[in-house]
Structure 1
Amino acid sequence: MTGRVLITAGASGVGRAMAEVFALDGWRVWVADVDAAALADVPEGWCKTQLDVTDEAAVSALFSEVRDAWGGLDALCANAGVAGPTAAVEDINLQDWQACVAVNLEGAFLAAKYAAPMMKAAGQGAIVVTSSTAGQYGYPYRAPYAAAKWAVIGLTKTLAMELGAHGVRANVICPGAVEGPRMEGVLEREAAAKGMTRDAVYDGYASGTALGSFVEGRDVAEMAVFLCSDKARLVSGQVIAVDGFTVNPDPKV
């Protein structure tokens, strides 16, 4: 199946990689992103919308626009996320916790809420939610992020159960440490919190995987395209890590 895909946080990072691979596979692509500068740099031919995924009115308006422009939606990649604070749990304030959970969890919920009616009406569709290996393990110094990423797994499994009778599938991708600017920020903050160097934290993440490597955005994107394709027609409710097999989720030296 190729068709129409909407990707939140699709103008940069993993979302941009998803958009590029979907486009190469023949899909029509719509990216939504909070970053206006990143949106200005997307290729001609992609639809684009500036969006705060925690703003329900804006999310509702986006899906109405998609329905009016495209007549429906075949796939949703609920990819928006923020790293949140890197600190011991007692040092995290409630506002920072809430801001992290709002984007990572509520953003995915709102996207699914407004995608589901279109997909149910069509009797088919695929939803892919981006979680993290932080959604599979305890994750020191990243309490709000880990909590939200665990929660989206429960959300997605529930979507798979609710929507399966309507021909709609829902799956989770759990990337490992992905090369890029956001991870660089995490490395610096985690190094400061642990009294380590940035390079030591980086090496800890890489050596904590069986394949000894960070992940590239394209690795995650290829999995997303597969999960939205007919090749995965009976794959639903699954949690699939793209992480080189994490064997030690707490990088130490």
Structure 2
Amino acid sequence: MGRFDHRTVFVTGGTGGQGASHIRAYHAEGADVVIADIAEDRGRALAAELGDRALYVRLDVTDESSWNAAVQAAEEHFGPLSVLVNNAGVQNPAAPIETTDRRVWDRVLGINLTGVFLGIKAAAPSLRRNGGGVVVNIASTSGVGGTAMYAPYVASKWAVRGLTKTAALELGRDHIRVNAIHPGVIATPFITEPAADSDAPIADFYSAEPFAIPRLGEPSDITRALLFLTSDDASFATGSEFVIDGGLLLGPALKHETV
């Protein structure tokens, strides 16, 4: 038996590097998976690959009516939600605050923050109908410290932290846990390919050499933590923040000879 047998797991940004990793892992653990994304071709292809326990739904996370329709479709197909993973996110092109276009700010905050807010709002009644469940918001280490040239992204992820804690307080008595994961630099196209209108990918701004664990993360590093956090093994964890960054936030590791 899998840890998520007979549970419905809804993942936004479900066709991306991290999202598809999460979807495949939940499916392998027995879950009915809902692949929520605007990328219809990739979403339908992933659902076809996985088979009967997978459903693609088109979702614009900035649109409340789109959220309501997606959750309704998931319930009609599989029943009430057990898990919501707010994974969808975008990055802004690297630019100082003074030259950041207001439209970029609005887009990033709309997807990364408003999308999470609308997701919790739309999913909470379904999770209650299930008798409880788990929400995990995928934030970022940029929501723990500052990152020059990425003000919209940083601001959005800092705000997700507060939203996570507020939702945990509001929903805890309904047996709904709400937590956040802060990934570090993960080797996905989000990091390794240029953001829109940008000449350089985020990976160009980082070297993993100073990390305590000197490599970029893999999507599976986040997926494994997510599976634990949404399982019954983490039943006492809510309002918490889990940093998975290979030691990025610790500061540079000292070079030394192994004795």
Tell me if both proteins adopt one fold, taking TM over 0.5 as the criterion: yes
Q: What root-mean-square deviation, in Å, do the aligned CA atoms of Structure 1 and Structure 2 show? A: 2.3
TM-superposed CA distance for 1:249, in Å, is 7.6
Moved more, 14-23 or 241-250: 241-250
d(CA) in 1 for partners of 2:175, 2:66: 27
Match of 2:236 among 220, 228, 234: 234
Answer yes or no: is 1:116 the counterpart of 2:124. yes
Structure 1 stretches of at least 4 aligned residues deviating more than 4 Å after TM superposition: 186-192, 197-200
Match of 1:155 among 156, 159, 163: 163
d(CA) in 2 for partners of 1:165, 1:94: 39
d(CA) in 1 for partners of 2:227, 2:193: 28
TM-superposed CA distance for 1:187, in Å, is 8.5
1:68 corresponding residue in structure 2: 76
Match of 2:114 among 103, 106, 110: 106
1:83 aligns to what SS in structure 2? coil
d(CA) in 2 for partners of 1:187, 1:95: 15
- The gaps in structure 2 that reach 5 residues or longer are 253-259
Match of 1:243 among 239, 242, 245: 245
TM-superposed CA distance for 1:40, in Å, is 3.2
Residues 21/96 of structure 1: CA separation in 2 closer, same or farther (3 Å cut): same
Of structures 1 and 2, the one scoring higher in RCO (CA 8 A, sep 6+) is 1
d(CA) in 1 for partners of 2:74, 2:196: 39
Answer yes or no: is 1:139 the counterpart of 2:143. no
Match of 1:184 among 174, 192, 206: 192
d(CA) in 2 for partners of 1:52, 1:208: 38
With normalisation by structure 2, the TM-score equals 0.88
Residues 185/160 of structure 1: CA separation in 2 closer, same or farther (3 Å cut): same
d(CA) in 2 for partners of 1:248, 1:213: 14
With normalisation by structure 1, the TM-score equals 0.90
Aligned pair count reads 244
Q: What residue identity is the alignment partner of 1:47?
A: L
Answer yes or no: is 1:175 the counterpart of 2:183. yes
- The gaps in structure 1 that reach 5 residues or longer are none
Q: What residue identity is the alignment partner of 1:234?
A: F
